[in-house]
Structure 1
Amino acid sequence: MRWSHFIERECVNMDTGEKLGTFHRSDLVIDPGTGQIKTILLPIGSSIFRRKTAEMSLSWSTIQKIGPELILIQQRSYTTESEG
């Protein structure tokens, strides 16, 4: 699957039912040795100037199902980091 198709889908947490949004503005953390995606950094909120205010860190292993319209993840808690 191409990343351009992946980012069009809505991300939903299976544990909470919370919609986390799409991956349009997300960043990837890639293992340089294997080339595999380790983590997706999903922005939370934005300002008027579209600057990121915080990021949610989702491990690639939390993805349970990629469907035609949704990406289901299973993660009980999130790691968030503020950008300054």
Structure 2
Amino acid sequence: MRLSQLGGKEIIDLKNGERLGVLGETDLEIDDRTGHIKALLIPVPRVFGFKKDKEEVKIYWKHIKKIGTDMIIIDDTNR
């Protein structure tokens, strides 16, 4: 799968069915040595222009369980 094919997919938490964001709004954390993707960095939306305590949610690549045609399912027991 190419990175361009991941764009626009919704990221869903398997544990509670929560929608975490859309991959087009997400940054990738890449290991400088290997070039492998380490994590997805999903920005937390602002409420009336004010920042929340956490500015982004980090989803480690190892927690991704399935990449489908429309969504990415993650299972992160620490969330």
TM-score by length of 2: 0.82
**Deviant stretches of 4+, over 2 Å:** 46-49
CA contact (8 A) 2:9 2:24 kept: no
Q: Which residue does the alignment assign to 1:65? A: 66
Contact 2:8 2:22 in 1 (8 A): yes
Listed one character per residue, the Cα deviations across residues 14-34 of structure 1 (whole Å, up to 9, x for unaligned) are 011101121112111111111
Structure 1: runs of 5+ lacking an equivalent:
79-84
1:74 equivalenced with 2:75 (yes/no)? yes
What 5-or-longer segments of structure 2 have no aligned partner? none
Aligned equivalent of 1:44 = 44
C-alpha RMSD of matched pairs (Å): 2.0
TM-score, normalised to structure 1, is: 0.77
Q: Tell me the number of residue pairs that the alignment of Structure 1 and Structure 2 aligns.
A: 77
> Percent identity between the aligned chains?
36
Contact 2:26 2:40 in 1 (8 A): yes
Which residue is 1:18 aligned to? 18
Query: By percentage of residues, which structure has more helix?
Result: 2
